[in-house]
Amino acid sequence: MNILLGVTGCIAAYKAAEVCRGLQKAGHQVRVTMTQSATEFVGEATFAGLTGEAPATSVFNWGASPIPHVELGRWADLMLVCPCTANTLAKLAWGLADDCLTSCALALTGTLAVAPAMNVHMWQNPATQHNLQVLEERGVCIVGPDAGYLACGEVGQGKLAPVDDIVQETLAILNAQEEQKAQEGAADPGGEAPLPAAPAQLGGQATPPSLTGAHVLITAGPTHEPIDPVRYISNRSSGKMGYALARSAQTAGAQVTLVSGPVSLPVPVGVECIQVETAQQMYEAAMKLANSGDIDVAICAAAVADYTPVAPADHKLKKSEEHLDTISLKETHDILAELAACQEVPVVIGFAAETNDLVPHATKKLESKGCDLIVANDVSRQDSTFGSSTDAVTLVWPDHICELPLMTKDDVAASIIEVAADLLAENNPL
């Protein structure tokens, strides 16, 4: 497939060359567009040598094409902006097109993905977070950033995601596109209008059911179980699925309350968010809402820690003085099971992240928890693991199973919300 790599003016711009090679090794054709600032960090000759074609740096001087931004925007199946500065992120969010890269993005007919990289304070600035939210709601795939030591000398969120992660995320997005095209081609060999997207196909309805008037509770992200004030037990959950569910439920007309563990994601517009850190805090927040009698649907997408330290230290443990051989643990509350047992909540949906025997494990979890639906996800797959932008999930009901194709997390979320609306209509008509 055709990938347009957009490179902006950031110290991490040199890593874009490695991303380019990774995508080429996977068998895809890559062309490059650069901002003028990017050329101050990486020479045009670098990408010309890698791709066999000079990068487009202006709408006036790219080969023989009189309109390079339109040609490249039409050519690309996917455009990846890597690294993406705060400035370019803002331009993309608001549709500005004052250079070749942003003009290409505006003329793009394919998918847009960005890999942000910037100073931690620029990343945390409300303006940047709002711009990020605008892009996510528009369906733009966001890869990273990571937290760590930054080029400016500060430590925090804003570091470009690892090259391998960016390449794998991009390939997963492309794979999802290819599978969607293959399905449309198989379903419509005569070349007629393509079938509806997966969420509409799921219930066989042209318009998915509405959640207007419903109150949806969603748990998202990991929990951090403290060992001492600086160390904790956690997992790899990014919170992307839970936040996608919150956006989709809000779009479907629901009042949404999101109980979120520690993540680096902007809260969707119009969604109430309760920030928590530990499994106990998430349990207390979720059960308080459930027992209020005001929740119609509860979706447990959070990866809650199963165990927490019995006696976390109130000070940083010194390896030289307080050698830690063992950590005594105790089980945390089973939030999914307790919500399913709560008579006040008509519909409860859980998730099962598995690495083997996906359906048997999910079926067992459905029976043991007593919920209405389990969304099973094979996290051993690179395109469906923690932090990925795509998922291939299997929906498991008590009486049947539905395997969904590889889709973006937003499309998966839309499918789940449609099912939730159907279940609510069956169990407790509004």
* Binding site as annotated, residues: 306, 316, 351, 365, 369
Three-state DSSP at 137 gives helix
Assess contact for 128 and 235: CB atoms under 8 A. no
Q: Which residues pair with 408 in a beta bridge?
A: 390
Q: How many CB atoms lie within 10 A of CB 325?
A: 4
Torsion sign (Cα): 60, 61, 67, 73 = negative
Interacting residues of 286 by C-beta distance below 8 A, sequence separation 6+: 217, 219, 259, 298, 300, 335, 339
In this structure, what token pair is assigned to residue 369? 């928890």
For tokens 């500005």, name the residue: 96
Per the annotation, where are the binding residues for CTP? 306, 316, 351, 365, 369
The span from the CA of 96 to the CA of 109, in Å, is 16
Residue in this structure with the two tokens 């025997």, named with its chain if needed: 357
Nearest CA-CA partner of 332 in 243, 221, 220, 233: 233
Catalytic annotation, pick one of 82, 104, 152, 402 = 152
Lookup: tokens for 285? 């927040």
Phi, psi dihedral angles at 240 (to 5 degrees): -60, -40
Report the run of H or E that residue 353 belongs to, with start and end: strand 347-354
Q: Which whole-number Å values give the CA distances from 132 to 43, 142, 276, in the listed order?
A: 28, 8, 22
Amino acid identity of residue 279, one-letter, is A
Catalytic residue flag (residue 82): no
The residue length of the chain stands at 430
Within 10 angstroms of residue 30's Cβ, the number of other Cβ atoms is 22
Active site residues: 152
